[in-house]
């Protein structure tokens, strides 16, 4: 039997398909205008990769920022529950999750059974999210996927002190005008997002081991700086971006098996 999870995020839509042996396939596409059509396209692409038809999927669960706009999942679950389920399946020893998405960021503490014990969330401001990094990458004219590697080459990191995305962008532009190197500015940008999120994580009580999920977990500079800030090593799942979709698929499987 096959089960699917759809994570409809603000920047990307992710699909994971589970079989009895584990993850069969996954797919990620840009959300674009979003809605049902993009989610169905993402599911269709994941099915094609798994070499199965849509009709062979026994149950689909939805999660993410846009889950309420999808009509086809049998049920919808919060990202917090789904990231908890996904990480517990991949890295069962993890007790704290830091999930940085496009539109919000979350810190989640799990018990030994993988159930959510406590959580904290920033969903009121772009600072501390993938959108913040996207804005800074645009201001510095660098592809988002290269931002982390560039930041790691910093030799004289500069400080980006503004927590507001709009003011931070102005700060970045002024650093450029003063002749600061791009890698040094980007290090400051990554440090800024880490400083903001570390406070949120400490608010729930950091319990190691700690893992990062979400698209920003693919930024090596943010992961490195987060580990330094919290004073511990950060674990990463094989594909951090699909963790929520995987958790939704696991819940779909649980639904059918019960």
pLDDT below 50 — which residues of the chain? none
**pLDDT attached to residue 249:** 98
As separate numbers, helices (DSSP H) first and strands (DSSP E) second, the chain gives 8, 10
**pLDDT attached to residue 122:** 82
1-91+239-258 folds as Nucleotidyltransferase; domain 5 (3.30.420)
Residues of the chain with CATH 3.30.420.40: 1-91+239-258, 93-236
**pLDDT attached to residue 123:** 64
**pLDDT attached to residue 124:** 65
Q: What is the CATH number of domain 93-236?
A: 3.30.420.40
- What pairing do the DSSP bridges indicate for beta strands 12-19 and 2-8? antiparallel
């Amino acid at each position: 039997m096959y089960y699917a999870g759809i994570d409809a995020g603000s920047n990307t839509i992710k699909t994971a398909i589970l079989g009895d042996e584990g993850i069969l396939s996954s797919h990620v596409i840009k959300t674009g205008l979003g809605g049902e059509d993009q989610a169905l396209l993402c599911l269709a692409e994941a099915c094609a990769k798994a070499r199965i038809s849509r009709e062979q999927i026994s149950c689909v669960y939805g999660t993410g920022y846009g889950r309420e706009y999808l009509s086809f999942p049998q049920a919808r679950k919060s990202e917090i529950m789904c990231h908890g389920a996904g990480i517990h399946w991949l890295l069962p020893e993890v007790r704290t999750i830091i999930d940085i998405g496009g539109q919000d960021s979350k810190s989640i503490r799990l018990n030994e059974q993988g159930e959510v014990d406590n959580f904290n969330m920033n969903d009121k401001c772009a600072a501390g999210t993938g959108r913040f990094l996207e804005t800074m990458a645009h201001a510095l004219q660098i592809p988002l996927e290269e931002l982390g590697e560039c930041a790691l080459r910093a030799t004289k990191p500069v400080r980006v002190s503004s927590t507001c995305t709009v003011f931070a962008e102005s700060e970045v532009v002024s650093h450029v005008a003063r002749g600061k190197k791009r890698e040094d500015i980007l290090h400051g940008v990554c440090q800024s997002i880490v400083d903001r999120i570390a406070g949120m994580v400490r608010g729930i009580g950091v319990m190691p081991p700690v893992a990062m999920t979400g698209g920003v977990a693919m930024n090596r500079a943010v992961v490195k700086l987060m580990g330094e800030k919290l004073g511990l090593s950060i674990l990463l799942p094989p594909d951090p971006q699909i963790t929520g979709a995987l958790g939704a698929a696991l819940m779909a499987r649980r639904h059918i098996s019960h």
